[in-house]
Structure 1
Amino acid sequence: MRWTHGLVLLAVTGACSVDDSVAILPEPDRAGYCASGEQTRLVEDGATGREICGGRLASRVFTRALCSCGELVVSASSALDAFRGSLGPGSAGGAGASVGANGGVQLTSELRVSGSLQAGDPGLALGAALLSIQGELRDAGRLQGASSTVRVGGDAWVAGDIELQELTVEGVLSHPAERRLTVPQPPSRVRREPVGPFAPPCSCDTPEDVGAYVKNHVAAHHNADIGLAVDALADFSGDAALELPCGRFYLTRVHGAGSLLLRVTGRAALLVDGDVDVGGLDVQLDEGAELDLLVAGGVSARGPVRMGSPGFPSHLRVYVAGAFDLDAGDPWNTLPESSELAGNFYLPRANLDLSRRAELSGSVFAQRVAASAGLFIHYDLDVQGLGERCPD
């Protein structure tokens, strides 16, 4: 790729020893921050300097392959599977990619889920569809689709009426006695008992305050170590490139008509106190590198977007407080050609309306998700264990 009239910041990685205390920043000792080999640490409380390990934040947010605070709408053949990036494809073992929707689920095509599925009220509405769940099903409402088939590999709990052409439950179906069960051949093991209420599958009532995390780093950053001005990318012309070694870095905003190449060579955090608005975006992680990207505003791009490594999606965690628009002017529903997303995306206020086939390695947490041309997510189970790598 040719870069013209761009900003190029090449940072030299250094040995990084002592335990970093946020309270003493901003004369930060990046060497001390990085040498321990720990994950990124983010300032969780700006008043006291209390930190949280980035891995612990990720493991509590990205518990499912797909989480929707509202409804989930699928109207084209879609599938979610799982693997472990540290072990390679096909290494998920008995674990799978789970789906959660605090609202209902509407399905008019085939959806295959290698883990569990949980739907909130009003439940699942299926139209001539096939729903295959290898794990458990928890449904706070109805399960209806007179021409539809549902297959559950584990137990199932359904709080509302059931009306299907075919229902297979390998485990036990729990269903209230007062609710209708209309299936030509009911499952062999049905337990008539109260069902629910269930806790919402996605933590949407008290979302992570991404903007507050960013504000806590206005001074608590390592920019000086690599000669990075906080407004270095506030208005760039042409294409730009920024290299980040291990450390914590802060920018006021990222804005430019050209494309931005962000290369990460160590365990880094980049905190943006505004929007990321670019022509194109390429986030490259060197072997062993990791990035926590937190954006207090929204993210938009008009050209191809490539983020992370498909083999190791757990190494990229993206938290966005506002909209997530990867084809500005025509939201994410027309994801630009040649785009590739491999990471975990926390978008609690973004509505994702996907009218072009979308494939992602990692996970998505969004306000609402609608896929009309196919949605395929390959969930890296390693993200669930990131917290275990954090110090006590």
Structure 2
Amino acid sequence: MSSAFPSSCSAVSRRIVPLLWLAGSLWGGGCTVRDPVALLTSAPDGGPGPVSTPDSGPSTSEDPPDEHEAFCASTGPLMLVSDGVTDEKVCTGQLAERAFRHALCSCDRLAFSAALSTDAFRGSLGKYTPGGQGGGVATNGGLAANDTVKVGGELSAGGGDGIRLGRSLTVQGVLYSGGPLTGDVTAEVTGDAWVRGDVGLASLKVDGKLAVPEGRLMSGDVQATQVSREPVASLAPCACDAGSLLDVPGLIANHATRNHNAAIGLDPDSLRGFTGERSLELPCGRFYLSGIEGEGRLDLVVRERTALFVRDSIVIGERLSIEVVPPGELDLFIGADLTVAGAFALGSTDAPARTRVYVAGHGTLGISAGSVVAGNLYAPDATLNLSGNAEVFGSLFVRHLEASGTLAVHYDADVRELASACGSGK
């Protein structure tokens, strides 16, 4: 299935069309893939899906066609309209760098009954291989772990309750604890370690400096290149305060009219109240939907530079698949909650940095066993509930995390360098 047609194709190629019409055009028309077209279809046996055209559906675009063409001829991260006061543009690469600096960031304390591990790779350099250095873990609360913890990057727990361990700890970077570091276990830190409370482990090996305030106790076998008795400042490693949060609702509101819906004939209400199976393929551009609600299954496919703004919640009764095919990239902004009753498939495990999801809701996002999360999720006011053993490619920024099984996060470090290309966006 293609997401685009050349400018020499019929004008109807700019409309949302049934899948069978598209198939006939691809086989018989000889079109190449540059001129945008969106597809909104139902399952083969479910009857035609909701279809809108520029003549019959509401137009919400204030951007002229030449702006859309210029936008899609550019490269690099998307440029979005910022707040309504300044009307300045913000680059999605800059948003991503601010939001996804760690493999896991939690505003509340972290607690794990099963093993936690993180590592890192760069999707731009090849497929994931285990054990790459990077992929930090941070929380503004404390950390309590009953099983092994292996962090490929830094580990920061800002809460006064510090870090309490039930089994071994390995940190391939700097360790920071806002309170005691305790447990009848062994711990190894390849960087420096900063502990604001007592140190009480069976053994602690620090390749760099260990800093502990005067008056705090140190027990067990402690080895460090340097032990320093000095003040350790308070730290909140995750940007969870109101002044630091990204303005997801504001970005969505500014694109309710400033979008490219008219260029492809996309009705903002097309995916409200659907049943059965639906498929939406979006081309390059910025698109707006009032909400996504359905009792069935939804497949969203992106192959180019795309941003999708959803004013209200996304509520899917069965399965949600968001496929981002490199070199495509997606920034998805959701104004309320994201709720998926069944399996959730997100992004590409080969290039997780190309998929960024920003959720403004305060509810619980449950990800069932068997789901595939390969992208970056920013939901600083929401609870993420992971059922069973979970493997994430990308990163997580949430208010609260609940994990019933093991959690492995493979961080795509490319997400930290997206802002470097912002100068070429339009």
TM-score > 0.5 by shorter chain: yes
Range with greater deviation from structure 2 (39-48 or 99-108): 39-48
Deviation at 1:182, TM superposition (A): 1.2
Shift of 1:125: 3.7
Matches of 2:358 and 2:283 in 1, distance apart? 20
216-225 or 204-213: bigger deviation:
204-213
Q: 1:80 aligns with which of 118, 137, 149?
A: 118
Which residue does the alignment assign to 1:40? 78
- List per-residue Cα deviations over 1:200-251 (Å, max 9, x = no partner): 1110003112111101111000001111011111121211111110000000
Counterparts of 1:305 and 1:176 in 2: how far apart (Å)? 46
1:351 pairs with 369, 375, 383, which one?
383
Match of 1:215 in 2: 253
User: Residues 350, 6 of structure 1: CA spacing in aligned structure 2 closer, same or farther, 3 A cutoff?
Assistant: farther
Quick one: distance in 2 between partners of 1:128 and 1:60? 32
**Residues 39-70 of structure 1: CA distance to partner in whole angstroms, max 9, x if unpaired?**
21221123443211111110111111110011
Where does residue 304 of structure 1 map in the other structure? 343
Cα contact 2:119–2:133 (8 A) shared by 1: no
Change (3 A) 1:195 1:133: same
Distance 1:375 1:44, change over 3 A: same
Corresponding residue to 1:162 among 199, 222, 227: 199
Equivalent residue for 2:393, pick from 347, 361, 374: 361
Measure the CA separation in 1 of the matches of 2:319 and 2:364. Answer: 12
Aligned position for 2:171: 133
* Unaligned ranges ≥5, structure 2: 1-41, 54-60
Q: Which residue is 2:33 aligned to?
A: none
**Structure 1 residue identity aligned to 2:356:** R
Q: What's the secondary structure of 1:121's corresponding residue? A: coil
Structure number, greater radius of gyration: 2
- TM-superposition CA deviations, 1:4-38 (whole Å, max 9, x none): 34637799xxxxxxxxxxxx934353101111223
1:355: how far off?
4.2
* Equivalence map 1:1-392=2 (5 Å): 2-3=43-44, 4-5=46-47, 7=49, 25-27=62-64, 29-89=67-127, 95-145=133-183, 147-187=184-224, 189-198=226-235, 200-205=236-241, 206=243, 207-278=245-316, 279-323=318-362, 325=364, 332=366, 335-391=367-423
Alignment gaps of 5+ in structure 1: 12-23, 327-331
State the SS of the aligned residue for 1:45: coil
Equivalent AA in structure 1 for residue 199 of structure 2: I
Which deviates more, 267-276 or 129-138?
129-138
- What per-residue deviation string (whole Å, max 9, x for no partner) do you get for residues 141-172 of structure 1? 11111x12211011111111111111111111
Cα distance between partner residues in 1 of 2:131 and 2:389: 27
Task: Tell me, in whole angstroms, the C-alpha distance in 1 between the residues paired with 2:85 and 2:147.
Answer: 50
* Separation in 2, partners of 1:47, 1:370: 38
More displaced, 182-191 or 216-225?
Answer: 182-191
SS for the counterpart of 1:383 is: helix
What TM-score do you get using the length of structure 1 for normalisation?
Answer: 0.89
Q: Quick one: distance in 1 between partners of 2:240 and 2:191? A: 26
Report if the CA contact (8 A) 1:10-1:242 is conserved. no
